[in-house]
Amino acid sequence: MTDAQAAHGAETRLGIGVSPGTAYGPVVQVAPPVAAPAGEAAPADPEAALEDVKAAFASVADDLEGRARHADDTAQQILKATALIAKDKGLHKAAGKQLAAGKGPANAISAAVDEYAAQFEALGGYFAERVTDLRDVGSRAVAAVLGVPAPGVPDFTEPSVVVAEDLAPAETATLDRSLVVGIVTQAGGRTSHTAILAAQMGIPAVVQLPGACAIEPGTPVSVDGDSGEVVVAPDRSLVEAQRVRREKRAEALSASRGPGRTKDGHAVALLANIGGVQDAVEAGAQDLEGVGLFRTEFVFLSADRAPTVEEQADIYRKVLEPFGDRRVVVRTLDAGADKPLAFADLGPEENPALGRRGLRLSAERPDLLDAQLEALAVAARDTGADVRVMAPMVATVEEAAWFARRVRENGLPKAGVMIEVPGAALRARHVLAEVDFGSLGTNDLAQYTMAADRMQGALSDLLDPWQPAVLDVVAAACDGARRTGRPIGVCGESAGDALLALVLAGLGVSSLSMAPSKVPVVRLALSLHTLPECQGLAEVARGAATAREALDAVRAAARDELTDLL
């Protein structure tokens, strides 16, 4: 912070940048869920209290329907369905019973919600997912009956920075892209849903910002989604400097086109990570070289029986078509105890991240894998797409060989493996010899290298892909790939970090797969550096003692034409 900023009362805070770009606007605070207070008095007149409860539900329904009128299609359906829950007579009756039994209005609402939530949770699968909507209605009705602000994103009309403890995926998905210029959360992590969705939507975002929820609504803030810096009440000159940088950046990025190349012409393919048909349609329309990671879980997760070959082929065709003859790397089903399937549940595990997930589940249920490979072969034939299949969570040579054989038996030309287990990275030379290519999943690789749960936002520092130990493991995998003559790519979030992308290219990675919104800045970064320069940056990063030092050293060593824009 400069003295000038300090004099104006500006305050700089550092979080983790998860979606690139800068933003400036007033803060809109997302109110936290409201819990029913303990020790709430029993109503003197339960009948009158029931009228209050019904009025609370009605105001929630009105609010949701009002929002639905201004929302786009997808959001409109979600909001209308949620409004129907608030109007549900069964829910009102259940609350009435709780009032009659002596509960206060707020507690009666939350007990009624709990009753239905338990029923839905017992049904499992897709029904259990609706519990979130139900609890959201309950929390809103409790707020209404207590006369406190409704939880969730309030209505606003001016372009703003949305600030929250954390955002539920549904909340992030229903944000109005034309009004939300930036997202800041106090919790969350590099790989949280907020981070992934914000990057997908192209909205600059910072997570893990200390004290974010205490920023007064309406206070102007500037957000830097690359460095993670958020300035509260920034000085006018800083805002102006950021605006200039934003324009320079937009100009530089719009001039960057075509396949990924270093300054001296070394090819590094720029690919998209996608998770569904909609993503495929959007990414397919963009200037990128294909898909480096197609997550197929959505085909399975909401189904209560294994989808048939025909059903799957139908979906895969829709995903492949937008890419014409560009490559599409498909990751076979990556489910397990943390993402259980209704039809292939192997039971709860003490430690799901280390359990029977990924290819290990496929080994227990080869029928699922075979059906998926058959469907992919059908879709590949029908569309003429360049389909390459890879397995998640491969640890050994035997697993790689087993998978490659099944892929080829199903008539698919190219088999690969994800390198996300450190054991496989260290032995990449032998593991990759069994297949045609490897792809580094840096999110899981960091989790397993640093023994830090990806889902724990508090462990974000350990999960930083700049951790020198993680870079060493990546380097070992690249070295093994080089010795076997197999190409190796990266499909974790780190591939979308412009500086880290240079380091990865220097380590020998030949493709980078990321959220499509990150492709232009990575393309620009590569075009400004030669391969020997990238190799030099990789040396610099691996020579650092800490993650912070690695980042700072690479930032200092990279070309100013790039770092001036970051």
Partner 1 sequence: MAQRTVTIASSVGLHARPAALFVEAVNETGLDVEIGRPGDDAVDASSILGVMALGAKHGEEVVLTADGDGAEEALDGLVALLSRDLDAE
Q: Site residues (CB under 8 A) for partner 1? A: 77, 80-81, 84-85, 88-91, 116, 119-120, 123, 126-127, 130, 134, 302, 304
- Which residues lie below 8 Å from residue 318, measured CB to CB, with a gap of 6+? 277, 280
Task: Measure CA 128 to chain center.
Answer: 21
Residue 31 Cβ, how far from partner 1 at the closest point, in Å? 24
Dist. CA 366–CA 403, nearest whole Å: 10
Q: What would you report as the CA-atom Rg of the chain, rounded to the nearest whole angstrom?
A: 25
Q: At what angle do helices 498-507 and 519-527 cross, to 10 degrees?
A: 60
Dist. CA 31–CA 15, nearest whole Å: 20
Buried b (16+ CB within 10 A) or exposed e, 128-143: eebbebbbbbbbbbbb
Confirm whether 8 is a catalytic residue: no
Dist. CA 37–CA 101, nearest whole Å: 17
Torsion, Cα of 499, 504, 509, 512 (10° steps) = -40
β-pair type (11-14, 160-164): unpaired
Minimum CB distance to partner 1 smaller for 298 or for 556: 298
Q: Provide the residue type at 520 as one letter.
A: P
Minimum CB distance to partner 1 smaller for 126 or for 219: 126
Residue 61 Cβ, how far from partner 1 at the closest point, in Å? 11
Number of Cα atoms under 13 Å in the Cβ half of residue 6: 3
Q: Which residue of the set 92, 491, 529, 534 is catalytic?
A: 491
Minimum CB distance to partner 1 smaller for 85 or for 462: 85
Q: Which residue of the set 193, 213, 478, 529 is catalytic?
A: 193
Write out the two tokens for 378: 């059908």
Query: What Å distances lie between residue 374 and 238, 462, 493, 513, CA to CA?
Result: 56, 39, 29, 25
Minimum CB distance to partner 1 smaller for 93 or for 243: 93
Write out the two tokens for 182: 């930036």
Residues 114 and 65: beta-carbon distance below 8 Å: no
Confirm whether 491 is a catalytic residue: yes
Residue 299 Cβ, how far from partner 1 at the closest point, in Å? 13
Residue 117 Cβ, how far from partner 1 at the closest point, in Å? 10
Residue 6 Cβ, how far from partner 1 at the closest point, in Å? 52
Minimum CB distance to partner 1 smaller for 79 or for 205: 79
Minimum CB distance to partner 1 smaller for 90 or for 258: 90
Catalytic residues: 193, 491
